[in-house]
Structures are given as C-alpha cells and as structure tokens.
Amino acid sequence: FGNWHVETTDVTLQLRVTKSGEAQVHRAVAARPAAEPGGHDRAKEWLLDPGDEIFTEIGGSAAKRRQVDAFLRALAATLPDDLTGPLRVVDLGCGNAYLTFAAYRYLSQRGLQVQLVGVDVREDQRQRNTELAGRLGWTDRVTFVAGTIADAVVDPAPDLVLALHACDTATDEALARAVRWDARWVLAAPCCHHDLAAQLRARPTPAPYDLLTRQGILRERFADVLTDSLRAALLRLHGYRTEVVEFVDSRHTPRNLLIRARRAGGPPTAEQRADYRALVDQWQVTPRLETLLAAPPTG
C-alpha cells in the first residue's frame, strides 16, 4: 500500500509513501466523539465547526460545508504540523471568497499569524468581500484587491498560494505567479481545460492512440488528464514536489482534482526533463504554463 489513514481515540494519522520512497506523515488531534459512552457511532469530524460564525455570513449549506472541510483537509495535509511564525496567503481568483474566509479561520485557529489577500477581477466582488471581512472583524488581516490573476499587485510575496476552480488557463496564470513568487506551498483546483483540448483537436493523434481521441467525450477527458499531468510535471521542473489528489468526492463535483505542491528546491533531473519533453513532443502541444514560465515576469 502507498497510503494509510489510521484513526485512534487521540489522533488521526495519515501516511503516504511517494514514488521515490519518501514517507510523508501528517498527524492531527482526533475530534471528540459525539456518541454517548459505550456507543459506536461518531459524528463527522469537521476541521471547522459547522456552527462557526463564518457560515452565518458565507452560507452554511451542507454542500458548502463538505467542500470547505475537504479543502481544509487538503490544506492541513500540505502544511507542516510544526509551522510557526507569520504566514502570508494569497487566494487567486477568489470569487465570493467562502474558501478564502474558511482558510483564514482554520489557519488562525491553529495559532498562526495570518495575512491573507484575495484577488478577483471583479470590483463588485472586492467590495462585497471587504464588507464581509468587516462584519467578521478581520479587515486588518483579510484584504481583497481587484485585478487579474496575472497582474494583480500582491506585496509582499506570499508563502502559500491558493487557486481554487480558476477557469482554463487562469489556473496556469496562478501557478506561474506562485513559481515566480517562489511560494513555499501551492494548492490549485483546476476547473475547465479548454486550451489543450483545442490543440488536440487541431493536430493529428500520434500512433497508436487514435482510439483514445476518436470519440469527442474521451478526447475531452484525456485533455483534462494531459493538462494537469503537464502542469504537475512543470512544477517539478521548477523545484516543487508535486502530487495530484482528489479534492472533494466526485459525487459533489466532477472538477474534483487538486494540484498540491511544496517547494523542495534543487534542479530537476535529466530524466524529469526528458519525460516532460517527450510527452509534449509526442502530442505536439504547448502547455500554457510552459509559455508563461518561459516569458519575462510582468508583475
């Protein structure tokens, strides 16, 4: 097995063994059982109490709470347990910011001093989210700016970059900014994948994979897989230890993948470079992220 999830009465232990044989361990204090003594059923262990005041402001539907909890679990598994000191966070393409606020609440409850900036292209969203931060009493720690993912002014550079359900190449723009910022951690949940899908339609399929792309729906799904595989590979080439995991159960959304990356440093291996180049050359595609990372920084 490559993954273990063990729960005791005192602790939840997650152990994952990477392809290179490295063991990554995450521990969390187990939630108190809700059942009467002697019972067997336990209530769901939420990382953020469903009765928390933020759900009064952002909405507390069951679907939203599930997505918040899934996101926070991915975040908890990414950050080291012994993390201390100030933490600068940016959420690129934050939209209505319910995951932004949930991230701040969770991280601050871990005892971290957090400064969080949400970025969205719409000015009305900035105003709405700023007003919401004011109602929660967080305006000095949670701020919002209006601007594009590629060009919004964020200073100083963040330690943690979030990009959750940014559409198509907006995810690539978020990943490129994270790399240029030299962010320590990145969590990106891609949304739609139009760019490589269009490139695949415009080019002949390499042998012997014609059956893989002959049917339109299969070609689109393959484009999704190819896009995120190449994104993960490019992050590795730029010094990040990267994995693609399930974000939330597919019953709740088909866009349920999460690219999780941690800056590891060190140059890529010759094998990593060769594997990436062989894949893009075989399929005759140019990932948007490759283009962005090759271009001079603009902001």
Could you tell me which residues are beta bridge partners of residue 6?
13
Give residue 33's pLDDT: 42
> For residue 243, is pLDDT > 70?
yes
121 CB-near residues (< 8 Å, 6+ apart) = 93, 146, 147, 148, 149
For residue 276, name the pLDDT band (cuts at 50, 70, 90). very high
> Taking the domains of the chain in order of start, what are their residue ranges?
1-45, 48-294
Check the CA dihedral 156-160-165-170 and report its sign: positive
Q: What is the largest CA-CA distance in the chain?
A: 65
Question: Is the domain covering 48-294 a CATH 3.40.50.150 domain?
Answer: yes
Give residue 32's pLDDT: 44
- Encode pLDDT of 188-239 as tens digits: 999 889 999 999 999 999 999 999 999 999 999 999 999 999 999 999 999 9
For residue 35, name the pLDDT band (cuts at 50, 70, 90). very low
> For residue 156, is pLDDT > 90?
yes
